[in-house]
Chain A
Amino acid sequence: MSVVVDNACTQIWDALHGGASVKSLRVSPAVYDVVAAARSGEVARNYPLMLLGLPLVADDDVAIYDPVVN
């Protein structure tokens, strides 16, 4: 997760520096499952899974270590 979070955070700052807005974070289903398992309490309360302040979206087209900021 340390690599995934670092790559995502760097992308977010790059987007913000470029004046873009960021709305969601697409990750591989494997990463999504890891976050869901770690945040089981939030899942049980029906809270959305979020990372770095962005909603997480599982996407089969995203590689494990290459999350995509939208």
Chain B
Amino acid sequence: MLTEEENEALCRVGPGTSMGEVLRRYWTPAFQLGDLPEPDCPPIRVTILGENFVAFRDTEGKLGFLDELCCHRGASLTLGRVEGCGIRCLYHGWKYAVDGTIMETPNLATSTFRERVKHGAYPVHEAGGLGWVYLGPPGTEPAFPNFSWANAPAGEFSVSEIIMDCNWMQAQEGSIDSSHVGILHLDTLATMGSGPRSVGSFDFAGEPWDLDMQVPGGVRRMPGDAPRPGVWPSEDNAPRIELETTPFGFHYAAIRDADEPGKKFVRITAFVLPYTAIIGGSNGGVIVVPRDDYSCSTIGVFRLPPGTDRAVAEERARRGIDPAVWGPEPENRRLKLPKQDREAMAAGKSFAGFRGGNRVQDGAVQMSSGKMYDRAKEHLVPADLAIIRMRRLFADSIRLIEAGHDPVGIGVDYDSTQVTAVSTIIDADQDWRDLVPGHQGTREPAS
């Protein structure tokens, strides 16, 4: 639980807030590169950390990320013309370069102003299909976190973004919460043909219900097929949680009794402060970014096997998702919850009753807590250790920033390419940390 004051400090992200100041010290994924596909294409409005910006790709292909409103009289640059290596405000024609240089001021003949003042502009880094920006004090950019997918060829990863109408912590806490997987996502596991078939006294009746739903890896068990126990080889819904703090945040393991005697099923997640959970078994990660205090983007970035047909991958990413609920198009990324299928739930064919797979199920419960959940009312249990540790690291970071230091994970030397996650079966007496040796190697030497 958190006090009301702690909850406010954790959740609010605008300029001048405690967490807002912390988050501005990390590279922040702000937009999809696919939304700015070519030089001089239309600009886009981006809302992150409670502020509005305009992103554009200039004539030479360089990305610009500027304060949204023209510094003359405040018209939105998202209405502007992208041309001649800059973006021009429609109102009085002021034109800006990607670095904020004021190139032209047609209604001001003298050059004194534009020579002395720049428009707000922020560094941009292209990686993994995303435009990452740094909103912290100039000159304090940390090293860029080169995750394993960050430099993969464009055809070897997929990016999808869902905008949710709730505070970002509700989504972020879900991304590092392994103990809900065998419960909320019971329908998904059933469609995959593995994992538990019950939650408490609820038992599945018959075959899976939503055969079109998205499942990790795209593998599914069709009616009549034999069970596929290797996919989620455990019926244990009360995992033991072990966690180790690392320079980048922490990694933790949810350890379940495996179906096979003498073995255990470990699912390791790496949490890289402040946005990214690299999830074992998913071949990628989930990035949660606050848009403002009451909405966030959850971005899935997943590595595809080399040679994957791009069109096939995109089609697979849309499978089972009703466009009335969500779609990859920029105007349709806000999640609109589908109607819950109470008949299927009552008949024992579905546990959660939401078609569309894990992300729709996650969105349903996370948004159901309201725009900003009051954590004074919660009753945490030991299985929530990763969530508890994340909050502590953020609280530590707030204190560090207030004392004039870098937040946790900044200014430490670690190789981000070696941050991995694993989901597998190992011998019962084996240490799961052996499976993520890169994490061990990046640990700071004991002082």
Interface residues of chain A, those whose CB is within 8 Å of chain B, are 1-3, 5-6, 9-10, 12-13, 16-17, 34-35, 37-39, 50-53
Contact = CB atoms under 8 A, between A and B. Distances in A.
Interface string B217-254: 00000000000000000000000111000000000000
Interface of B: 1-4, 6, 240-242, 376-377, 379-382, 384-385, 388-389, 391-392, 394-395
B392 A12 contact: no
A16 B383 CA distance: 12
A16 B240 contact: yes
Contacts of A2: 2, 6, 388, 391-392, 394-395
Majority-rule SS of A interface residues: helix
B382 A52 contact: yes
15 contacts: A1-B1, A1-B2, A2-B2, A6-B389, A6-B392, A9-B380, A9-B382, A13-B382, A17-B240, A38-B3, A38-B4, A38-B377, A52-B380, A52-B381, A53-B379
Contact of A5 (B377, B388, B394): B388
Contacts of B3: 1, 34, 37-38
Contacts of B385: 9-10, 13
B382 A5 contact: no
Contact of B395 (A3, A16, A35, A51): A3
A50 B6 contact: no
A9 B241 CA distance: 10
Given A9-B384, A9-B388, A50 B242 contact: no
Nearest to B10: A2
Contacts of B391: 2, 5-6
A65 to B, nearest CB: 11
A39 B379 CA distance: 10
Nearest to A34: B3
A50 B389 contact: no
Contacts of B240: 13, 16-17
Contacts of B392: 2-3, 5-6
A44 B377 CA distance: 14
Contacts of A39: 1, 376-377
B388 A6 contact: yes
Contacts of B380: 5, 9, 51-52
A37 B3 CA distance: 9
A31 to B, nearest CB: 11
Contacts of A51: 1, 380
Contacts of B377: 38-39
Contacts of B388: 2, 5-6, 9
Contacts of A34: 3
A44 to B, nearest CB: 14
